[in-house]
Structure 1
Amino acid sequence: MSLRSILGRSSRVKKASSKSAGAKQASPSKRRSAPSQPAGGEEDEEDDFFDDKLDDCGLVKALATDMNLRDTAQAIQYIRSHMFTPMPQQAGGMNSTRIAEVLNYRKNLPPIVTISHIQTLLSSPSTVEREIAQLAQSGFIRKIVVARRGDIGETLILSSDLDTLIDNVSTIPATAKDNFKAYLRNTPNTQCVHRSALSEHDVDSLFRAGFLTAHHAGFVTHSSLSDTMNTFSRPEDRTSLVSLETVSRQPTGSLGTVGGAGAVYAAGGSGGGPGPLSLPANVTELRLAIPGNGAFLKLVSSALQHLVALLGKSRYREAPEGLLRDRWDGAIARDEIRRAAKRSRGEFAGILPGQTRKWKQFYGLSFDWVLQEAVGSGLVEVFETRSVGRGIRTL
């Protein structure tokens, strides 16, 4: 047998053609995806520069950077003052109408904070719980709970701020304001208000203003939640009165098979009343509420979902804090010096802050505020890496 038959028909080493070599060189790597441009004008790159997991050197116990935070009252003021970033002074990409819309939205949000957010700033959650109970008993703060919303539904508001909100509503009579504030001072820990505690006219005006919501005392009402709220609700709150699991256990022909007597109201209807703001006649207890709490919950829940989605772009669903902050801001911090030089020459400066999701959807919500809220809700955790600063990963 000849050597040529052993080596094959051709023993020469063939050189790769320029066409195949160019195609191989132009093929993207497995770890980097091609950048895309979404509808909002914000870059959506993978930006995953790490082939391995980040080094975990221990969890961060408290996220507060201000060492002057000592108690719950200071934490409430700190959270409220650091919720939004300041408006861009120049080249913000927003006209006067949009700027007014953002400022009015911030102004109309209720001055409330979540209890889980306070616990992330202070080192001892049990101490925070005891202090909240003491402050609530003394009447300094008021606890407002929105059912079926999980941790983001348990909020606190200063009693002075609540009195200010009541006084600023012109549709409530003066006598109803005084009676309601007196009732709140006499019952500092209550969440429900019996209908007979106030006059019918006072209850109707407070209900229309949004300080009271209906609460059916005969049974537990579980309204169907949206996908956004369902993410942060507890497992026992995710069924509704008209779900198959509930109605299958009800007797045939009873009201339970169609959700019960309060199914229409629990689903967002008027419960048979003359209008959407009328109080149903079968409601005997009312729950305390804050006007604008729905807008607050919608903003927080959508921001938390977006933060988790940004972490999902990484391979191991974790990223350094600096990289995640850059993603939240819409990657406008890249090449800041080059963009500043372009702006000075009057050239196009790339993506402006007003074109990013941070300002178009979240009205300039601060990254640090959202991160603290996500840690308090149990969605992410922060750990030390000792090489690239703090790392963040989803749970």
Structure 2
Amino acid sequence: MSLRKILGGSSRIKKASKKSGANRSSPSSSPWASSLPRRKPGIQRGKSSAGDDEEYNEDDLFDDKLDDYGLVKALATDLNLRDTSQAILHIRNHMFSPMPDRAAGMNSTRIAEVLNYRKSLPPIVTISHIQTLLSSPSAVEREIAELARAGFVRKVVVPRRGDIGETVVLAADYEQMVKDSTSLDDDVKRSLNTFLTENHGTQVVKSGAFSMLEIDQLLKAGFLTSHNTGSIHHVRSSHTANLYSRPGNKVTFTSLDNISRQPTGSLGAVGGEGAIHKAGGSGGGSLGMSWLDTGATELKLAVPGNGTFLKLLSSALDHLVTLLSKSRFREAPETVLRDRWDGGIAKDEARYAAKRSRGEFSSVLPGQTRKWRQFYGLSFDWVLQEAVGSGLIEVFETRSVGRGVRAL
């Protein structure tokens, strides 16, 4: 008996027809075919490289707003803070994050630059920052006034800078700055210390307290500042008052309104003679010290380096609000906002060490984040408290994901 008869027919394998094969492979006829559009493989939406502090997913981590069970009255986590003096020392000691022990992403030159920058900042604290740590803002105001009258602290106000312009400094620290200054002569230092001892709680320098030469030296060293109280022609008054003004609104000889009226090609079209000096800079000019001869300028005590401090604080507050504004409802858990400020760097040291031992590396070095490149390691908690005190954000309880932060 042949094999054909045993199998009951032809032993040839028949191929399926082209029509049936086409139906089988057709996506429209298959019950498992997806109705979703096809996408090419690539980087998924919303994901970014580790440590990238420039781009974040703009989608919310939650489908709805965070639960709000009331605002946090005091942001201090240290229960030992009882008064203003302790709050001042606490704020100063927690302004910057410690330098990374290893893998900082900064060479020795950059590390020295960061440390020198921190050291150059004046030991001042904003009053609004102190109020965020303690439960009663009015009690803080009264205590600062009492400490100023007793000569324990000095209140220094920069006009037109809002809450961040109202600062205090310990009297001992201010006297030490005078002592360590290399721009003042010994006679000028003694005159300034005598004035400070005899005038507790005052910021305005009375006429005749210093000679003209002493005033000029104190102005250049940064211990005095001139505030314009009258005519706009005496423009060497507080230059920081116009930092946030539009160019056409600045009351200087180099304002757009004055320049636009000058003939083309003339010296006045570029600001006139000594334009930099008139705008508050250090360029040469013909004003000399005649701006003090009129009664339109008021002298006030100042802290050297206050402008650098305000510049750092202003840019840090703007960046924090920008990070918070990336969320749809302009709010996020505090832990999420902290991770964004730190640049998304993983803090799991054990996992980091394990990856290093395997030759893997999936995160970014601290020195490559904006926190260290632009803000010299400014602490997140410090900036958060400054933002709350300035009225830019508010912190509230969620009872589910910790504290929430909302932009105002």
Question: Does the alignment reach a TM-score above 0.5?
Answer: yes
Question: How many Å apart are 1:274 and its aligned residue?
Answer: 5.2
Equivalence for 2:326: 313
> In 1, Cα distance between the equivalents of 2:97 and 2:282?
39
Q: What corresponds to 2:366 in structure 1?
A: 353
Identity among equivalent pairs (%): 60
Q: 1:336 Cα shift?
A: 5.3
Aligned pair partner of 1:325 in 310, 321, 338: 338
Cα pair 1:192 1:286 within 8 Å, conserved: yes
Give SS of 1:176's match: helix
1:171 aligns with 2:186: no
RMSD across aligned positions (CA): 3.6
Give the Cα separation in 2 of the matches to 1:384 and 1:295.
Answer: 34
Structure 1 runs not aligned, ≥5 long: 1-12, 249-262
Deviations 1:85-119 (A, max 9, x none): 10000111111111100000000100000000000
1:27-46 matched pairs, under 5 angstroms: 33=46, 35=48, 42=53, 44-46=55-57
Q: In the alignment, what sits opposite 2:21?
A: none
Please state how far the C-alpha of 1:15 moved relative to its aligned partner.
Answer: 4.6
One-letter code aligned to 2:134: L
Once the two structures are superposed, the pairs formed by residues 179-218 of structure 1 within 5 Å of their partners are: 179-218=191-230
- Structure 2: tracts of 5 or more residues without a match: 1-26, 259-274
Q: Structure 2 matches for 1:9-20, cutoff 5 A?
A: 14-15=28-29
Moved over 6 A (4+): 16-20, 25-29, 220-227, 263-266
CA distance in 1, matches of 2:337, 2:202: 41
Amino acid at match of 1:23: R
Q: What is the aligned counterpart of 1:287 among 288, 294, 300?
A: 300
- Give TM-score scaled by structure 1 length: 0.80
What's the counterpart of residue 69 of structure 2?
57
* C-alpha contact 1:343 1:349 (8 A) present in aligned 2: no
Q: 1:371 aligns with which of 376, 384, 399?
A: 384
Change (3 A) 1:18 1:26: farther
TM-score, with normalisation over the residues of structure 2?
A: 0.78
Deviates more, 1:146-155 or 1:327-336: 327-336
Distance 2:125 2:406 in 1: 24
Conserved 8 A contact 1:112-1:155: yes
**Is it true that 1:127 corresponds to 2:139 in the alignment?**
yes
Amino acid at match of 1:186: E
Q: Which has the larger radius of gyration?
A: 2
Count of residues in Structure 1 that have an aligned counterpart in Structure 2 = 360
In structure 2, C-alpha distance between the alignment counterparts of 1:109 and 1:264, rounded to whole Å: 25
- Indicate the residue corresponding to 2:38 in structure 1: 23
Deviation at 1:241, TM superposition (A): 2.9
Q: Contact (CA 8 Å) 1:36, 1:45: kept in 2 or not? A: no
* Higher deviation after alignment, 204-213 or 218-227: 218-227
Return the alpha-carbon distance in structure 1 between the equivalents of residues 238 and 133 of structure 2: 32
For 2:124, which of 67, 87, 112 is the aligned residue? Answer: 112
DSSP 3-state at the match of 1:53: coil
Shift of 1:196: 2.0
Residues 15-50 of structure 1, C-alpha deviations (whole Å, 9 max, x = no match): 589797452697999xx645379xx95462217311
Counterparts of 1:143-158 in structure 2, within 5 Å, are 143-158=155-170
Residues 114-150 of structure 1, C-alpha deviation per residue, up to 9 Å, x if partnerless? 0000000000000000000000001100000111111
Distance 2:208 2:124 in 1: 28
Alpha carbons of structure 1 residues 226 and 91: separation in structure 2 relative to 1, 3 Å: farther
Q: Which moved more, 1:277-286 or 1:54-63?
A: 277-286
